[in-house]
């Protein structure tokens, strides 16, 4: 009984790991228009932030930007 519970927990942890890996390494599917729009939106934050939006960015990088924006109040 205890072994089957441990096995289920292990399988769940492995699945969560695979899903997290997939999220953090997913490709950027934004179109050129969306990238330019994101760059224009980030222009008040500085040209460095705006130019970052023109490059391929993973969802993890975009999530980090949202966390930074929330922390700084932008």
In three state form, how does the secondary structure of the chain look?
CHHHHHHHHHHHHHHHHHHHHHHHCCCCCCCHHHHHHHHHHHHHHCHHHHHHCCCCCCHHHHHHHHHHHHHHCC
pLDDT tens-digit readout, 36-71: 998 998 888 888 888 888 888 888 888 888 888 888
Mean pLDDT, range 2-20, rounded to an integer: 93
CA-based torsion, 37, 38, 39, 42: positive or negative? positive
Is it the case that residue 1 has pLDDT exceeding 70? no
Is it the case that residue 73 has pLDDT exceeding 80? no
């Amino acid at each position: 009984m205890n072994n089957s519970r441990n096995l289920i927990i292990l399988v769940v942890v492995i699945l969560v790991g695979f899903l997290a890996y997939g999220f953090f390494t997913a490709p950027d599917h934004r179109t050129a228009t969306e990238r330019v729009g994101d760059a224009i939106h980030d222009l008040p934050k500085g040209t460095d932030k705006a130019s970052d939006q023109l490059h391929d960015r993973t969802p993890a990088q975009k999530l980090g930007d949202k966390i930074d924006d929330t922390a700084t109040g932008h």
